[in-house]
Amino acid sequence: MVERYVMSVDQGTTSTRCILFDHAGRLVSVTQREHKQHFPKPGWVEHDAMEIWRNLERIAPEAVAQAGATPDQVAALGIANQRETTVLWDRHTGRPIGHAVVWQDTRTDRLVDELAAHPRADMVLERCGLPLATYFSAPRVRWMLDNRPGLRERAERGDVLFGTMESWLIWNLTGGPEGGLHITDVTNASRTLLMNLTTLDWDDELLTFFGVPRAMLPRIRPSTETYGTARQVLPGVRIAAALGDQQAALFGQTCFAPGEAKCTYGTGAFLLLNTGNEPVRSTHGLLTTVGYQIGDEPAVYALEGSIAITGALVQWFRDGLGIISSAPEIETLARTVDDNGGCYIVPAFSGLFTPYWRSEARGVIVGLTSYITKGHLARAVLEATGWQTREVVDAMNADSGLALKALKVDGGMTADNLLMQLIADVLNVPVIRPMAAETVSLGAAYAAGLAVGYWPDLEGLRRNWHRAAQWLPAMDPARRAVEFGNWHRAVERTFDWIKPDG
C-alpha cells in the first residue's frame, strides 16, 4: 500500500515551512524559506505577500519530493499562519496592495487612541474579547483604506479583498483571480476586532465602528473542514484546515480539554488555555479568543496571554546588533557568564502586550555599568523571555483561580536549554517539551487530517503526544523574588515613552 501523508504549511512571521507528517504524527520531510522583514520607519513592520506566496510555491513541492512522494499521496493540507497580519489585494489582478502590515506594526497607535475615545469603544472588548490595540487587524485595514486614494471605493465594490495570511494563501492555492476561494477560519477572524465572539460572524456595528466595508471580507469557516481543492502548487490536494499559528499549537499539543494549556516560543510567545465551549472574560489582561472549531461542532474558546517579543529580541541581537551570527549562539554567549550582572532588557519594541497593554511603551536596557559584557546582555535577552512568561502565567493563574502545575512548551526557542531551565526557575514549575518541536505545523496537520478522516478522532491524536524533555525548577526562592522585583522596576521604565502628539 502506498503511504499517505498530511501536509502542513506554517506561514510564520519570519519564515514559511512545509512539513509532511505520517499516521503516527512523525515528521517525514521539512522545507523552509525565510522572507524579508521590511522596517520602513520606526515601529513599522511589513512583509511582501507575493514573496510569501512564491516561497510557498517553491517549498511545498520540495517537501513532497524530499519525502520521495507524489502529490496524490498527500491526503490533505492544513494551514497555520502568523495572525493579525493584514493583506489587501486586487481581486482581478491578484496583486497585493502595498506590503502586508505585520502584527508587530504600531503605525495605527494614533488611530487606535482616536477610536478609543469614541463613546462606543467599550463595545470592542465586549464583543470581540480583545482590547482595542494596534496588535489586531481592523485598525490596520482602516489605516490602509485611509492612506491610499480611491482604495475605499474599490473595497466597497468588492474589487479589493482583505485577508490574513491564510486567506491570501488559500485564495491563491484555489485559483486566485480565476475563482479563488476568499475565506478565513474562526480563529483568525477572532483576531480582527470585527468578529462577534458569540455569533462567530462579522458584526455590522464593529464594521461601522472601524469603517471596514463588508464586501472586502472573507467568509468565516470552521477551522477544520474541506474548504476546497488546490488548483495551484499541489493540484488536486484537499485544503482541509486553517488556524492561527498559536491556536494550531494548542491543537498540536493536544490541549483538547478545558484547563489544558501550552506556550509557544517563536518571534513572540503565546500562552493559550483551553476554556471549553464558553468564552471566559479576563480581568488580568488576557485575551478571549477562539481556540478552534471542528466542522459544525460548537467552537472551543481559549484565554490567551500574548508576549510580542521573545525570539525577535534574539533576532535583533543577531541582525540589528550583529553580536551573534545565529540565534542559537545566544545560549553559547549567555553561558559565558553566571548571571545578568545587574542588567535587564525589556523588549517593548511594539509596546507591551499581556498584562500591560501599553502601546506607548518602548524597549529599555537598564542597569548598565562598565562591568556589563555581551555575555550579560545575552543572558538578559533570555531572562526577558523568562520574566515575560512569568507575568503571563501569573495573569492566567489569577484569572482561572488555579495555579499552573507544569508548562507545556514548543516553538523554535525550546531548542535553547538554558532558556528552558530559566523558565522552569522563574515559574517554579516543570517545563515540558513534547516530541514535536514544530507543534504549530503538527496542529495544522492534525486539523486537516481530522477533516478528511486521515485520523479518526481526538483521542487517537492524544496518544501521539510524548514527553521529549523536561526541566525542573532549581532557583533559590529568595533570588527569584529579588530578580522578579528588579524586572518589574525595569518594566516601569518603558512606560509613557511615546508621547500622544508624537
Ligand X SMILES: Nc1ncnc2c1ncn2[C@@H]1O[C@H](COP(=O)(O)OP(=O)(O)OP(=O)(O)O)[C@@H](O)[C@H]1O
- Contact positions toward other proteins, by CB under 8 A? 24-28, 30, 325-332, 412, 414-417, 435-438, 466-471
Alpha-carbon torsion (306, 311, 315, 316), positive or negative: positive
Cα 395–chain centre separation: 19
Cβ atoms 419, 382 nearer than 8 A:
yes
Strands 224-229 and 219-221: unpaired
Can you tell me the distance from the alpha carbon of 208 to that of 213, in angstroms, rounded to the nearest whole number? 8
Count CA atoms closer than 13 A to 56's CA, side-chain side. 26
Can you tell me the distance from the alpha carbon of 110 to that of 300, in angstroms, rounded to the nearest whole number? 34
Binding partner of residue 325 among other proteins, Mg ion, ligand X, none, CB under 5 to 8 Å per kind?
other proteins
Provide DSSP, 32-59.
EEE-PPB--STT--EE-HHHHHHHHHHH
- 364 versus 424: smaller Cβ distance to other proteins: 424
Closest contact distance (angstroms) between CB of 487 and other proteins is 24
Is residue 304 part of the contact set for ligand X (CB under 6 A)? no
Closest contact distance (angstroms) between CB of 436 and ligand X is 12
Place of cell 555575555: 375
Residues 437-456 that bind Mg ion (CB under 5 A): 440
Quote the cell numbers at residue 367.
Answer: 542597569
Closest contact distance (angstroms) between CB of 459 and Mg ion is 27
- 82 versus 354: smaller Cβ distance to Mg ion: 82
Is residue 447 part of the contact set for ligand X (CB under 6 A)? no
- 199 versus 332: smaller Cβ distance to other proteins: 332
Is residue 245 part of the contact set for ligand X (CB under 6 A)? yes
Can you tell me the distance from the alpha carbon of 462 to that of 214, in angstroms, rounded to the nearest whole number? 39
Cβ atoms 132, 112 nearer than 8 A:
yes
Can you tell me the distance from the alpha carbon of 482 to that of 490, in angstroms, rounded to the nearest whole number? 13
Site string for ligand X, 146-185 (x = CB under 6 A): ----------------------------------------
Strands 15-21 and 5-11: antiparallel
Please pick, from the candidates 104, 267, 275, 464, the single residue that binds ligand X as defined by CB under 6 A: 267
Please pick, from the candidates 249, 413, 427, 451, the single residue that binds ligand X as defined by CB under 6 A: 413
- 82 versus 350: smaller Cβ distance to ligand X: 82
User: How many other C-beta atoms can be found within 10 angstroms of the C-beta atom of residue 57?
Assistant: 14
Site string for Mg ion, 248-267 (x = CB under 5 A): ------------------x-
- 291 versus 412: smaller Cβ distance to other proteins: 412
Amino acid type, 52: I
Closest contact distance (angstroms) between CB of 387 and other proteins is 21
User: Which residue in 293, 358, 311 sits closest to 113, CA to CA?
Assistant: 358
User: Which residue in 355, 261, 353, 265 sits closest to 300, CA to CA?
Assistant: 261
Is residue 14 part of the contact set for ligand X (CB under 6 A)? yes
Please pick, from the candidates 6, 11, 12, 240, the single residue that binds Mg ion as defined by CB under 5 A: 12
Is residue 105 part of the contact set for ligand X (CB under 6 A)? no
Can you tell me the distance from the alpha carbon of 244 to that of 185, in angstroms, rounded to the nearest whole number? 8
Site string for Mg ion, 389-428 (x = CB under 5 A): ----------------------------------------
Cβ atoms 335, 416 nearer than 8 A:
no
User: How many other C-beta atoms can be found within 10 angstroms of the C-beta atom of residue 2?
Assistant: 7
Can you tell me the distance from the alpha carbon of 39 to that of 42, in angstroms, rounded to the nearest whole number? 7
Site string for ligand X, 311-350 (x = CB under 6 A): xx-xx-----------xx-xx-------------------
Binding partner of residue 82 among Mg ion, ligand X, other proteins, none, CB under 5 to 8 Å per kind?
ligand X
- 422 versus 440: smaller Cβ distance to Mg ion: 440
Closest contact distance (angstroms) between CB of 137 and other proteins is 31
Chain residues that interact with ligand X, rule: CB under 6 A? 12-15, 82, 245, 266-267, 311-312, 314-315, 327-328, 330-331, 411-413, 415-416, 419
